[in-house]
Chains A and B, each alone.
Chain A
Amino acid sequence: MTTPWRLLLVDDEDMILELLSLRFKAQGYEIQTAMDGELAYAAAQAFNPHAIICDVVMPKVDGPTFCRRMRAEGNNVPFLFLTAKGQPRDKVEVLSAGGDDYLVKPFDPNELNARILAIIRRRYPPAS
């Protein structure tokens, strides 16, 4: 891989965006951020990310709606949701909206790393 993985981070909390940006930049990812589902949709068009980490509850357009819109357009970019709820119903909601995986806040950073790598690897298998 000569170009780094492009990762889109979507959360309405700027503190979370700042912290996650630093974490993933330190690991060589190229990062863009968006603070709601509408901005995220625009960013996804321009940035064409390899994966998206997305909050569930956001103003204007929420995470599942953003994901459904991408899926409806045939975009299969891997989606990992960060949910603050963690109730079984919420997990079902994000997965049925087209999400590939989810983590409950507060998450363990090592687990987030591992899961993001896993969904990227599944979507873009290394050429053999």
Chain B
Amino acid sequence: MTLTQAEFHPIVELAADKTADGFLCLDVAGQILYANDAAARALSETTTTLSDKTIFQIAPEMNPSLWRELWKEIRGRSVFAFEFAFASGPDHPIQVDLSVHYLKPATRELACVFFRDIEERKRLQNLQQEFVSTASHELRTPMTVIREGVSQVLEGLRGDINDSQRRALSIALNGIDRLGRIIDELLDISKIESGRLTLKRDRIDLTAVTREIAATFQSLATDRRLELRVTTPAGPVLVYGDRDRLIQVMTNLVGNSFKFTEKGHIQIGLERRGADAQCSISDTGIGFEPKEAEKIFNKFEQLGQTTVTGEKGTGLGLSISRAIVELHKGRIWARSEGPGKGATFTFALPMQAGRDVFRDHLAPMLREVSRRGGSLSTVVFRLKQGELSPLAGHEGPGLLDILDQIVRKRSGRLTDLIVKDQDTMYLALQSMAAREALRIAEHAANEFKDLLKSENRSDQWRLAFDVSGFPEESDNEDVYLEKLFRREAA
């Protein structure tokens, strides 16, 4: 069934007039040919007054040359989206998300503009975030009361109970704990969806994290008579990541394996693969249909499977894990040969070099300084192994942690950007001229060398550093970055 041409036209007109997004139609000269209700409301006009105006009257940022550029873009790409400002009455700019579409229905070229007030969107996001956060906060107090009350009866603090009563209360307690997990995970999901989950990234050794996770699960494995196998490279596998969040991912994946495996083994494996650190958790559990592999990462997706332990999940763990891995610019996937044949969950994280991480963080800081004025200094510390210590190589990261503490103490600030590699530490000191940074670096280096000397290890390690200042050295951000890293390569 389709609409007739005669029916279609008024429907489209109605849609354009009444849709919640602002909609404008303009010609090449910038004259407004059509404006819908939402556009008129947003710009404090009426549809009639708007159609007497041009784009230049409603957009203070627009000028004829920019307008020509925009036309060039949309003729080439047919659609173009960006953030923009309109004037809603005198002295009242509104920020909008805007997309321009190119149309040439007859002889005339048209620019069709859809826009939406960003502040409105942000306000709604805040409202949603606040709601989830308040709701979860308010739920915790009554939950505490219920949990504690049930626990006290269960523990016999309120007198003797029989086995059947004990059983009922244990079930109740499990339900309460599950509710608590759901609330935590809903909070996480809400943060992820509003883009507010931010990572506290630092250098982490995934080898150590993997072994820690294995140790945590060992007693559960023993209880459940499952074999827990761990394979990791001998040395550290360094990534830049949020330690707590990555532990959350691994705990979720290993926990899932335990939930779905009755007998056999669970294997946690870590390896370097190309530029990635890859971590796999495989089990001999119930598995899944291969075609479900994508679906299981969806919110509230549980494939209708029952766990071996009777424990119920929230259906949110895997989708949170995926979001965390993707925030780390990594990938996560699942494989199974089929039901009953076990499953393997793998995530891969880029083993980004410290200098790339530093560069990513430093670039916006430099832009901010060029825009607002002020200064910024960078210091690159390099640890070099002395010839007498062929075995001391693995100590580099630990020594840099000590240097990090010394520097923070010296600068007296916690807000500076510090990125560490295997043997290099990058430091950006905001609002500080190179002279001052040099003084701090010298003091820190001396304190560090004294420390090595006091341990009779001066021969094993040498520390070099390099200080440069922005904008003294070069007032162009790109040139500054180039120079900084070229000098390092030399």
Interface residues of A (CB under 8 A from B): 13, 15-16, 19-20, 22-23, 26, 82, 84-86, 88, 104-107, 109
Contact = CB atoms under 8 A, between A and B. Distances in A.
Contacts of B158: 22
A84 B145 contact: no
Given A106-B176, A106-B180, A19 B145 contact: yes
A37 to B, nearest CB: 17
Interface in B123-181: 137, 140-141, 143-149, 151-152, 155, 157-158, 176, 180
B53 to A, nearest CB: 47
A105 B152 contact: no
B143 A105 contact: yes
Given A20-B148, A86-B184, A105 B157 contact: no
Contacts of A84: 137, 140-141, 144
Contacts of B148: 16, 19-20, 23, 106, 109
B137 A85 contact: yes
B169 to A, nearest CB: 13
A19 B149 contact: yes
Contacts of B137: 84-85
A19 B141 CA distance: 13
Nearest to A57: B137
Contacts of A107: 144, 147
Contacts of B147: 106-107
Contacts of A22: 152, 157-158
Contacts of A106: 140, 143-144, 146-148, 176, 180
A121 B113 CA distance: 69
Name the residue in A13, A104, A106 with the highest tally of chain B Cβ atoms < 10 Å from its Cβ: A106
Contacts of B184: 86
24 contacts: A13-B141, A15-B145, A16-B141, A16-B144, A16-B145, A19-B148, A19-B152, A20-B148, A22-B152, A22-B158, A23-B148, A23-B152, A82-B144, A84-B137, A84-B141, A86-B184, A105-B143, A106-B143, A106-B144, A106-B147, A106-B148, A106-B176, A106-B180, A107-B144
Contacts of B144: 16, 82, 84, 105-107
Given A22-B158, A105-B140, 19 more contacts: A13-B145, A16-B141, A19-B145, A20-B148, A22-B157, A23-B152, A26-B157, A84-B140, A84-B141, A84-B144, A85-B137, A88-B200, A105-B144, A106-B140, A106-B147, A107-B144, A107-B147, A109-B148, A109-B152
Contacts, number: 46
Interface residues on B, range: 10 to 19
Name the residue in A26, A82, A84 with the highest tally of chain B Cβ atoms < 10 Å from its Cβ: A84
A109 B145 CA distance: 11
Interface string B172-210: 000010001000100000000000000010000000000
A26 B176 CA distance: 24
A51 B23 CA distance: 64
Interface of B: 137, 140-141, 143-149, 151-152, 155, 157-158, 176, 180, 184, 200
B422 to A, nearest CB: 28
A19 B142 CA distance: 12
Nearest to A107: B144
Nearest to A27: B157
A44 B67 CA distance: 71
A109 B141 contact: no
A82 B137 CA distance: 12
A36 to B, nearest CB: 15
Closest 10 CB pairs of A and B: A106-B144, A84-B140, A105-B144, A106-B147, A105-B140, A106-B143, A19-B148, A15-B145, A109-B151, A84-B137
Contacts of B200: 88
Nearest to B154: A109
Contacts of B145: 13, 15-16, 19
Contacts of A13: 141, 145
Contacts of A23: 148, 152, 157
A51 B176 CA distance: 28
Name the residue in A15, A22, A82, A105 with the highest tally of chain B Cβ atoms < 10 Å from its Cβ: A105
Contacts of B151: 109
Nearest to A109: B151
Contacts of A26: 157
Nearest to A11: B141
B427 to A, nearest CB: 23
A127 B240 CA distance: 46
A4 B200 CA distance: 43
B141 A105 contact: yes
Name the residue in B145, B155, B158 with the highest tally of chain A Cβ atoms < 10 Å from its Cβ: B145
Nearest to B148: A19
Contacts of B157: 22-23, 26
B119 to A, nearest CB: 25
B179 to A, nearest CB: 9
Contacts of B180: 106
B173 to A, nearest CB: 10
A57 B147 CA distance: 20
A104 B176 CA distance: 14
Contacts of A16: 141, 144-145, 148
B159 to A, nearest CB: 11
